[in-house]
Amino acid sequence: KKRILVIPNGINTGSAFLHKPKDPNSIIIISLGRLVKQKAYETAIQSIAKVKTNLPPHFNLKYRIVGNGPEKKKIIKTIRKYDLVDEIEVITDSANVFELLQSANIYLCTSIFEGLSNAVMEAMKCGLPVVATDVGDNSQLVIHGKSGFITNPGDSKAIAEHINQLVNSPEMPVHMGSIGYAHLVKNFSYEKFKRNYLMVIRHVEDLQIRQGKQVVNEVST
């Protein structure tokens, strides 16, 4: 473990980040991913139910689950169980995921395990604050309290509280989304990914790694 250097995936951080004017009385939350147990959509639905009870009556709440998979029927059943048919939409066939992301206010990830989530990176690319569980590399992508919030898996109460924080502070989602986008560009862009790999290839003989990090000044970059 002390002698491993991790090079994270890269993403094209092009022009998807747009701050489109959004209805101040409407909140759209979105999740992308296969409809499988790993994504723990029941936790997400429970969180939305809690958010709904704390929203002012004039707010229009929508939660979009974008994906398909074997848990679809169970997810729809759970939506009905919590009486959220008007609030939650399951989209199984989307022609333009980035349009859906750009129309949203908040990205939600309730997974019980992940790697380096491409979906979270796509949300950050679109300038969304992210509320995510502390699994995989989510805590490397999301700066807790700055670009979003990190919670324990299954903690629907904490997830709902963080969403309500974002809902009740209209400027917070935009501010956090901007910080998240800057963090993505700096640390997870395709250019950074390419430079990291080329550095290893060109200097593999004298590359020094200690405690999982490249030793500074021992490799000319």
The predicted-structure confidence for 87-124, as pLDDT tens digits, reads as follows 999 999 887 898 899 999 999 999 999 999 999 999 99
User: Quick one: pLDDT band at residue 20, thresholds 50, 70, 90?
Assistant: low
CA distance 33 to 111: 10
pLDDT tens-place string over residues 178-192: 999 999 999 998 888
Confidence at residue 219, expressed as pLDDT on a 0 to 100 scale = 44
Angstrom distance (rounded) from CA 208 to CA 102: 42
- Residue 1's pLDDT is what? 56
pLDDT at 92: 93
pLDDT, greater one: 131 or 215 = 131
| Tokens found for residue 53 | 């009870």
Contact 149, 131 (CB under 8 A): yes
Specify the pTM: 0.86
- Average pLDDT in the 69-91 region? 97
Q: Are 185 and 125 in contact (CB under 8 A)?
A: no
CB atoms within 10 A of CB 49: 20
* CA pair distance 76, 219, nearest whole angstrom: 54
Mean pLDDT of the chain: 88
